[in-house]
Amino acid sequence: MVRILISVKDDKINRKIQFVKNILNDVYEVLEIFKPLLDEMLKMEEADRYIKNGTIERAVSLFSDISFLCKEIENESPLNISLDNLRN
């Protein structure tokens, strides 16, 4: 019984670590995407190009992924699990 609980706990920790890795990878990609955009914003007439080629849409998608992953981590917190157990 204890071994199963430890295994489940390890799986949850590994899952959270993977979420954090995904978040960091997405943040890095967003920053890489926006660096050229920010450089071009100084020239304003060039900024429209990034809207048209989907760069901004990709960044929005990444931020959405980051938001989802953060919510997943929050939902898996021990406090939430304990509260769910109390309800049952």
Residues (pLDDT < 50) of the chain are: 83
Quote the pLDDT of residue 3: 60
DSSP state of 80: H
Domain boundaries, the chain: 19-76
Q: Can you give the pTM of this predicted structure? A: 0.46
Closest CA to 11 of 67, 76, 74: 76
| CA 9, chain centre distance (Å) | 21
Is 16 within 8 Å of 80 (Cβ atoms)?
Answer: no
Quote the pLDDT of residue 62: 85
Q: Tens digits of per-residue pLDDT, 61-77? A: 888 888 788 777 777 65
For every residue of 1-33, DSSP letters joined together read -HHHHHHHHHHHHHHHHHHHHHHHHHHHHHHHH
